[in-house]
Amino acid sequence: MNLLQVTNLSKAFGGVQAVQNVSLALQAGELLALIGPNGAGKSTTFNMVGGQLAPDSGQVLLNGQDITGLPPRAVWRRGVGRTFQVAQTFATLTVSENVQMALLSTDRRIFHWWRRATAHRRSDALALLAQVGMDAQADRPCSELAYGDVKRVELAMALAHNPQLLLMDEPTAGMAPGERVALMQLTRQIARQRRMGVLFTEHSMDVVFGQADRVAVLVRGQLLAEGTPQAIRADARVQQAYLGTGLVLEKQK
Ligand X SMILES: Nc1ncnc2c1ncn2[C@@H]1O[C@H](COP(=O)(O)OP(=O)(O)OP(=O)(O)O)[C@@H](O)[C@H]1O
Q: Report the interface residues with ligand X, using CB under 6 A.
A: 13, 16, 18, 36, 38-44
Nearer to ligand X, 16 or 91 (CB): 16
Shortest Å, Cβ 19 to ligand X: 7
Other beta carbons less than 10 A from residue 94's beta carbon: 21
Three-state SS string over 216-246 comes to EEEECCEEEEEECHHHHHHCHHHHHHHCCCC
**Alpha carbon of 21 to those of 13, 26, 91: distances in Å?**
15, 17, 41
Shortest Å, Cβ 133 to ligand X: 29
Nearer to ligand X, 134 or 232 (CB): 232
H or E segment and range at residue 154: helix 147-159
CA distance linking residue 27 with residue 5, whole number of Å = 9
Nearer to ligand X, 41 or 197 (CB): 41
Nearer to ligand X, 47 or 68 (CB): 47
Shortest Å, Cβ 12 to ligand X: 9
Shortest Å, Cβ 216 to ligand X: 12
64: left (phi over 0), alpha (psi -120 to 50) or beta: left
